Amino acid sequence: MNRKHRISSGILTVFVLVLMLLVGCKGGKKPPQEEIPVKLPEDNAEILKDIKQAEKIFQALPSPIESAMLVKSAGGRFDESLLNPVGNVNTYVTVKSMALNLGAYTCDLSFASLYEQTQLIIDYMNAAKKMADGLGILKAIEESTIDELEANINNSEYIMDVVSETFLNSNSYLEDNGQPAVAAMVLVGGWIEGLYISTQLVDMNEFDGNKLVGRIIDQKLSIDILINLLAKSKGNPAVDELLSQVAKLKIVFDKIKLTTSAVRPEYDQATNTTVLKSEVKTDMTPAVFKELAATVTEIRNSFVK
Amino acid sequence: MRIFKIIPIIALLIVATSVKVNGQCKAFAKKECLPELENYTHDGNYHAAVLVEGEEAELYKTFYSDMEYRVAIVGDEKLPVIEFRILDTNKNVLYSNKDKDFAKTWDFKLQASQQLKLVIKVSSFNQPGDTPSSGCVAIMFGFKLKK
């Protein structure tokens, strides 16, 4: 009996070693002659057809960092009362609430960083860490990162790099570990938070010609991207709920007129940059703006409690 | 009884190894693609996948008139060159890196905010019967405020 166990264990050990070697070889760099030959049909047409069908589509929402930068560039002021209070962290216990608030806190962290709110930067980094840890995202934000942040608190460029890297760590972990629904919810949380803050900062007495209103109208260009991003995880109850909320937002965005002329690329040799020239016509009435602001607030309040 | 102790260890090893393989594009993106952004601030988003020779990927993103952008698209050294084109919503090609010796980056700014489409294609040099190579392809965006 013991001998049987020893034999079984031996076979299993060999099996594990062979399996690890096979899987490990997949990503390693080896000279071509060492590669295991794979027999393929002479005609690659079928393979190429399969490849074509497996086409990958990325839906890229503006990141929380980009959203915050847009508000600042449009002249938006900093208002701490508009951020999700860090005291709320312990109330988020579901995957959905932690994912959405990881996005929201990263957006708030980006605002605090751009407006050089030193104490808030640390507080919001800790809040984002708590969400990332709760979602099981390994090494997204380490204690050492927060220590280094404190040591470089007056170096705004360094801080933005850290915020960008920690966000990259979170969403790459989720994508690479088969959690696209959670990754999508993080992005949506950040986008909603940015849109909420922008709409709250608009002074209705200075509505016409307001640059911030222009940036809010631009978000109409991303609403289909957001819906397509979530639709990839349709069937996930949390995502389905979000999709129905976002559908209300799309109804309001559809009331905004936005027409763009043909785009003409012009290369500027001096700066080695291409300028995409085009004209845009937009029209959003104050009534539609108020409806948009109310809908965004309703969605935001459903997860920032 | 020992076999029952070994089975969970095997399962754990298999899971750990597959996570390592899946996680390779993150390390690749950070090491090979991120430095291409140079003095642009990375937006923090992650777009990377394992692509096979001849395979295409698409990316949709809104770009804003207040910003200057750099897009960096880098493929694993095992892959042939990566072609990429930028199209507007009317499918007009605004840029193709084929005209710039398959450059990995493109710098641009916009007069008005636009949703653009990026089409990324791993070119193919394999012959009939050859095994198509595969590897990570990472797409990253950097931005800075317009001067």
Quick check: A12 and B10 CB within 8 A? yes
Residue B5's pLDDT band, with cuts at 50, 70 and 90, is: low
Distance from CA of B45 to the nearest CA of A (A): 6
Residue B2's pLDDT band, with cuts at 50, 70 and 90, is: low
Total domains, chain A: 1
Which residue from A20, A166, A276 is facing B108, i.e. has the nearest CB?
Answer: A276
What residues of chain A lie within 8 A of the CB of B138, using their CB? none
Quick check: A222 and B88 CB within 8 A? no
DSSP string, A163-207: HHHHHHHHHHHHHHTT-HHHHHHHHHHHHHHHHHHHHHH--GGG-
What residues of chain A lie within 8 A of the CB of B121, using their CB? none
Residue B83's pLDDT band, with cuts at 50, 70 and 90, is: very high
User: Which of A29-33, A75-79, A130-134, B46-50 comes out lowest in average pLDDT?
Assistant: A29-33
Is B19 or B24 the better-scoring residue by pLDDT? Answer: B24
> Considering only alpha carbons, which residue of chain A is nearest residue B111?
A277
State mean pLDDT over B23-50. Answer: 94
Asked if residue A34 has pLDDT above 90, the reply is: no
Evaluate whether residue A132 is within a structural domain.
yes
Cα atoms found within 13 Å of the Cα of residue B43, Cβ hemisphere only: 32
- Provide the mean pLDDT of chain A: 86
User: Which of A45-54, A148-157, A173-182, B92-101 comes out lowest in average pLDDT?
Assistant: A45-54
- Which ipTM did the prediction report? 0.84
pLDDT (0 to 100) of residue B3: 54
Evaluate whether residue A48 is within a structural domain.
no
Mutate to test the interface with A, among B63, B100, B113 (most CBs of A within 10 A): B113
Evaluate whether residue A237 is within a structural domain.
yes
For A174-191, how does the pLDDT look when each residue is reduced to its tens digit (9 = 90+)? Answer: 999 999 999 999 999 999
B111–chain A Cβ distance below 8 A for any pair: yes
Quick check: B106 and A19 CB within 8 A? no
Evaluate whether residue A170 is within a structural domain.
yes
What residues of chain B lie within 8 A of the CB of A30, using their CB? none
Asked if residue A43 has pLDDT above 90, the reply is: no
pLDDT (0 to 100) of residue B128: 72
Evaluate whether residue A173 is within a structural domain.
yes
Quick check: A15 and B10 CB within 8 A? yes
At B25 the three-state DSSP class reads: helix
Residue A32's pLDDT band, with cuts at 50, 70 and 90, is: very low
Q: φ, ψ for residue B47 (rounded to 5)?
A: -130, 105
Asked if residue A10 has pLDDT above 80, the reply is: no
C-alpha B136/C-alpha B147 separation (Å) is: 34
Tokens 């012009």 belong to A266
Asked if residue A12 has pLDDT above 70, the reply is: no
Domain B2-145: give its CATH code: 2.60.120.380
pLDDT (0 to 100) of residue B18: 43
> Considering only alpha carbons, which residue of chain A is nearest residue B39?
A157
Quick check: A9 and B43 CB within 8 A? no
Asked if residue B130 has pLDDT above 50, the reply is: yes
B39–chain A Cβ distance below 8 A for any pair: no
CA A144-A150-A154 angle, to 5 degrees, is 140
State mean pLDDT over A276-292. Answer: 96
Quick check: A275 and B111 CB within 8 A? yes
C-alpha A69/C-alpha A109 separation (Å) is: 12
Q: Which residues pair with A56 in a beta bridge?
A: B57
Distance from CA of B129 to the nearest CA of A (A): 5
* The two three-digit tokens of residue B48, written as one number: 């990377």
| B141 in Cβ contact with A305 (< 8 Å) | no
State mean pLDDT over A38-42. Answer: 38
What residues of chain A lie within 8 A of the CB of B50, using their CB? none
Evaluate whether residue A164 is within a structural domain.
yes
| Element (DSSP H or E) covering residue A94 | none
C-alpha A186/C-alpha A230 separation (Å) is: 11
For chain A, what is the largest distance between any 2 Cα atoms, rounded to a whole number of angstroms?
87
C-alpha A15/C-alpha A4 separation (Å) is: 16
Which residue from B18, B88, B145 is facing A73, i.e. has the nearest CB?
Answer: B145
What residues of chain A lie within 8 A of the CB of B7, using their CB? 12
Write the single-letter amino acid at A191.
W
At B58 the three-state DSSP class reads: strand
At A138 the three-state DSSP class reads: coil
What does the domain layout of chain B look like in residue ranges? 2-145
Residue B10: how many other CB atoms lie within 10 Å: 15
Cβ neighbours of residue A144 closer than 8 Å, sequence gap 6 or more: none
Which residue from A51, A219, A272 is facing B55, i.e. has the nearest CB?
Answer: A51
Asked if residue A29 has pLDDT above 90, the reply is: no
B16–chain A Cβ distance below 8 A for any pair: no
In percent, the amount of chain A with pLDDT more than 70 equals 82
Asked if residue B135 has pLDDT above 60, the reply is: yes
Cβ neighbours of residue A143 closer than 8 Å, sequence gap 6 or more: none
State mean pLDDT over B39-65. Answer: 96
Domain that holds residue A137: 64-256+285-303
C-alpha A112/C-alpha A276 separation (Å) is: 31
Which residue from A27, A52, A56 is facing B24, i.e. has the nearest CB?
Answer: A27
Mutate to test the interface with B, among A56, A65, A164, A227 (most CBs of B within 10 A): A56
pLDDT (0 to 100) of residue A54: 44
